[in-house]
Amino acid sequence: MPEQLENTRNEALEFARRTRRNLEYIEKASEEDHPVHPVTQLTLSLLGLVVFPKEKLYLEEAKAMTVDKLRANGWPEWTISLDNTDERSENLWVILWHLRNATCHGRLIYSSDSRDMEDVTIIVEDKMPRAKEPYWRASIQAKELRTFCYHLLDFIEQTIG
């Protein structure tokens, strides 16, 4: 990348922080009854909170964050209904891997068009290129995905910030 293109937007941590501010802004606007869609913004936030940090920072520390440790620290749980992989979804690293793939390839399914996060469950699927069926599937209520994203940002900031 050319040196003249160096700015904080190119840094994954700063991009994640800006993503958080945008999500908070949309949530506030929704509370004030503006016609915005917090669930849509939450999905867009996955780009800044999952995809960019995973690709640019290579969060090795996420491998040590087992599902049990996540649960003990108040992270919401994903309901994993399909896990046909060699590496089971037993830590944050593996979950982020699948979330990254699902987000990048548009493999998210919403239970509702509601703007209220409590009314929407999001299903994410990961599949191999050209495969007809996914090999990994998980779901989470949008409100819990929001909590997951905020925990993830805190984790990123504590780990590399």
Torsions phi, psi of 91, nearest 5? -150, 170
**What percentage of the chain exceeds 70 in pLDDT?**
88
Quick: pLDDT tens for 59-112: 778 889 999 999 999 999 999 999 998 888 999 999 999 998 998 899 999 999
Higher pLDDT among residues 59 and 34, named by residue:
34
The model scores a pTM over 0.95: no
- Identify the residue with better confidence: 68 or 56: 68
Q: How far apart are CA 25 and CA 5, in angstroms?
A: 27
- List CB contacts of 124: < 8 A, sequence separation 6 or more: 98, 99, 102, 103, 107, 108, 109, 137, 138, 139, 140
> If DSSP codes are grouped into helix, strand and coil, which group holds residue 91?
strand
The letter for the amino acid at 89 is S
Using the predicted structure, report yes or no on whether residue 13 has a pLDDT greater than 50: yes
Distances (CA, A) of 124 to 16, 104, 116, 134: 21, 11, 19, 10
- Residue 1 has what pLDDT? 46
pLDDT band at 50 (very low <50, low <70, confident <90, very high): confident
Of the pLDDT bands very low, low, confident and very high (cuts 50, 70, 90), residue 158 is confident
Beta strands 121-126; 136-141: pairing state: antiparallel
| The two three-digit tokens of residue 60, written as one number | 């090795």
Query: Of 54-58, 133-137, 152-156, 157-161, which gets the smallest average pLDDT?
Result: 54-58
The DSSP code sequence of 97-135 is HHHHHHHHTT-EEES---SSGGG-EEEEEE--TT-SS-S
What pLDDT shows up at residue 111?
A: 97
Does residue 38 contact residue 57 with C-beta atoms inside 8 Å? no
Burial class of residue 2, CB neighbours in 10 A (0-12, 13-18, 19+): exposed
Structure confidence at residue 125 (pLDDT): 97
